[in-house]
Structure 1
Amino acid sequence: MSSTIQSKLPNVGTTIFTVMSQMAMEHSAINLSQGFPDFPVSEKLIDLVYQNMQIGHNQYAPMPGLPQLREAIANKIKNTGGISVNQDSEITVTAGATEAIFSSVLATVNQGDEVVVLEPAYDCYIPAIEVAGGKAVPVGLKLPDFSPDWQKVKDSITDKTRMIMMNFPHNPSGAILTENDISALKEILEENPRLLVLSDEVYEHIIFDGKTNLGVLKDEFLASRSIAVSSFGKTFHATGWKIGYMVAPEAIMKEIRKVHQYNVFSVHTPSQYAMAEFLQDEQNYLGVSSMYEKKREFFQKAMQDSKFKVIPSYGTYFQVLDFSEVSDMGDMEFAQYLIKEKGVASIPVSAFYSDKQDHHLLRFCFAKGEETLQKASEILCKI
C-alpha cells in the first residue's frame, strides 16, 4: 500500500545555486555562481574552535546561545552605531541565517497572513512563508538601482498583512538603504500597528564607498517592530559553519525561541566560544569591507572593456552585470551557455523573482581570489 503526501511546497525544486554549481562542476567552469568565498577562514578563528574542542566545550550550548557570545553580539551592535540590546531576552544564536528566518516566520506568521516580500529576493523567503500557511505578496524593487518602491509597498498592504521581508545590503544587487528609505519604512509601520519587519542583514559588514549600513537596529522605533537576522558565516567567510543570530524585541523573541528550541535547540558549542572571543577585536568584523571592496574594484576594472554593463554594487560580495548588449537570450539560457560554452558560472537574476521576470541580468560572486576573477573576466571580455 502506498501513501501519497500532499506537498506543502509543490513549486520548490533544487535551488538555483545548487543547479548552477553542479553544472559548473560538470563543465569545469570557473564558479562565480554560488555565494561562497574560495579563500581561507582566519587561522586565529579556526585555532579558537580547535582549542575549545580540546578544552571540552563539546556538549549542548544553552538554547538561546552562550551568554558570552550574546554579550559580544550586543557590544558589536553598539560599536557599529546600533541601539542597546538586552543580551538575555533579545538575542538568539541560530544555525545560520536561514534557520533564523524560518524560525521567525513560523513563530509570527499565521494561516492566511500576508507577507510583503521585496523582490528580487533570496529563495528561502517564500517557502518559509508558505510552510507557515501564509501568503507571499511580492513587490518589485525599482530598476536599474534596485531601490524600494515604498508607494507600491503601501498599496500592497491589506488588513491581512503581517510582515514586510527585506534584505539590505541586497542580494543579488548590492543595493543599500538610504535615510529616505528608513523614513518611508517608519511611516508605513506607524500607519499599520500590526506590521512587523523581517530584515535579512547577513551582509551588514560588507559595505563599500564609505557608506553606512542603515539596518533596523540603528533606530529605536524600527528595532521595536523588527526582527534582524545576521550571519557569522558571511562576515567571517565560513559559510559551512552555519552560525548566525537574530535580534528582536523580547515579546517577539519569546515566541521565536519556542520554535527555535524545537527546530535546532542549540548551535555548535565550540564555534560559539570561538566567536565570542573573536568578536572582542572589532577589526575582525570592521576590516571585512575593505577586503571585499578591493575585490569589487578588481572585478569591475577587469570588466570595463567588456560589452557587459556593470550595475553599481554598494555592498555584499555580488556584482550584477547587464548582458542585454551581448545577447538576446533569456538570462537562464545565457547563464547555461556561459557555463557550457565559455566556462564561467553565474546566477540568472530571474531566479530571485517568484514570477521569473527576466531583465537580462546575471549575478557574479566576487568573493574569490584575484587569479580566479582575472581568468573569468578575460573570458567574459572576449564575448
Structure 2
Amino acid sequence: MRPTSYLSPFNNIPEVTSGISFSNDLTLSDCTLRDGEQQAGVVFTKEDKIAIAKLLDEMRIPEIEAGMPCNSQEDADAIAEITRLCKNSRITACVRGLERDFDLAADIGVWGVTISLPIGILQRKYKLKWDDDTYIRNMYHLTEYAKKKGLYVNLSPYDTTRAEPAFLDRVMTEAVRCGTIDRVRLVDTVGSANPEAIRYLARRIKGILGDKVWLEVHCHNDFGLAVASALAGAMGGAEVVSTTINGLGERSGNTSTEELLLALKLLYGKDLGIDLTRLTDVSNLVEKLSNTPLQKHKPVVGRHSFSHESGMVVAGVLEEPFVAEAYAPELVGAHREILIGKKSGAKSLEAKLNENGIHLPEEAVRELLTDVKNQALAVKRSLTDDEFFDLVRKYQ
C-alpha cells in the first residue's frame, strides 16, 4: 500500500521529540458556528448552521460550540435543532454572565456552556468593571448556577494572555476550590502571545488546575501563529484545542481546524479519530455559507494546495508526487492538479495531452508551449482546460 505522506526525518530525532508530549485525553472543540460567525461580515442562517454542524458531526468532531442562544430566537432554535440532530458531537453554547443565558441554554438541551468572563486588564477595566473580589464572587455564583442546571461548565476568562499574573493564579486556584468548573479556557483574544508564552501559560495554569479541571486553549491568528500557539498550548498540557474551519473568526481569525488536525496527525503522530477525508468538503461548505473566499494557497484545503505549474516541479511530480508534496491530497479529500501556464514545461503539456488521448509530434509540443506561455502572459494566470485545448486544436 502506497504511503500517504513523506515527511522530514528530523521530526523524530531525540533532540526534537524529547520536549514534546500531549495529553492522552487531547480532543478538539470546533467553534466555527460561534467565533467563526463573529468574523466581521459573516452571517449564518439557521439552515447554514445546521448544515455545517451535521457535516462536523459526520466527521466525528468531538465537540461543537454551536453559538450564543441569547443572540436571537433563530440562533436558539438552530442550537436546539443541532443538539437534537448531532449523534457524535457534544454540543455547547457560549453564554454571558447572566442567569437567563444559562436558563436558555439548559432549556434547549445543550451538553455544556462556555461562560465568557473576561480577565484581561483592559477588559476588566473598560468592559466588566469588577474588582478582584467581585470577579471571584460572581465566578462562584455563575458556575454554581450552571451546575444546578445540569450543564458541563467551561469557564472562559478571555484575554487570558493579558491578565495580571497574580490575579490569574488566584482565579485558577479558586476555579479548583469551588468544585463547579469542569474546564478553563486559556484565550489569546487578540493573538498577542507568542507560542512559547502560550506553552508557558498552559503549563503554569495546569500546574494549578491539576487533573481535576481540564484546560482548553483558544488562539487568534493576528500574527499568523494561531496553529503554532495552539500546538504549543497542547504541548503545555491543555486537553482541549479550540478551532474553526478555514480559520474563520474575529479580525484575522482563529486556529484553523484543518491545519491543526493535519499537523497533529502527520507531524506529531496524534490522531484524534476525526475523518480527515471530509476536510475539503466542510471547508468548501463554510467558504460558501460564510461568503468568505479562501486564499487559493490556503494550507490543507486551498484550491492550489496540490496544484503544480512549474515545469521543473511537474517533471518530478509526474515521477513521484512526494518530490513536491508532504502528504497525499486524498488524505483530506482533495486531488492533485497539473496547471498549464507561463511556467509550464514540455512534460506538463505531454502529460495533459496524454490524459486526454492526444499525441503531438515533439516539434508541435514545443510550438504549443510557446503559445501557452504567450496566452498565460496575456491573461496573467494559468489557462483553463478550454483555453488550453483551443490552442491544441491548431496542431491537430
Shorter-chain TM-score above 0.5: no
Task: Flag the structure with more relative contact order, 1 or 2, with Cα contacts below 8 A and sequence separation at least 6.
Answer: 1
Greater C-alpha radius of gyration: 2
TM value normalised by structure 2 = 0.30
Question: TM-score with structure 1 length normalisation?
Answer: 0.31
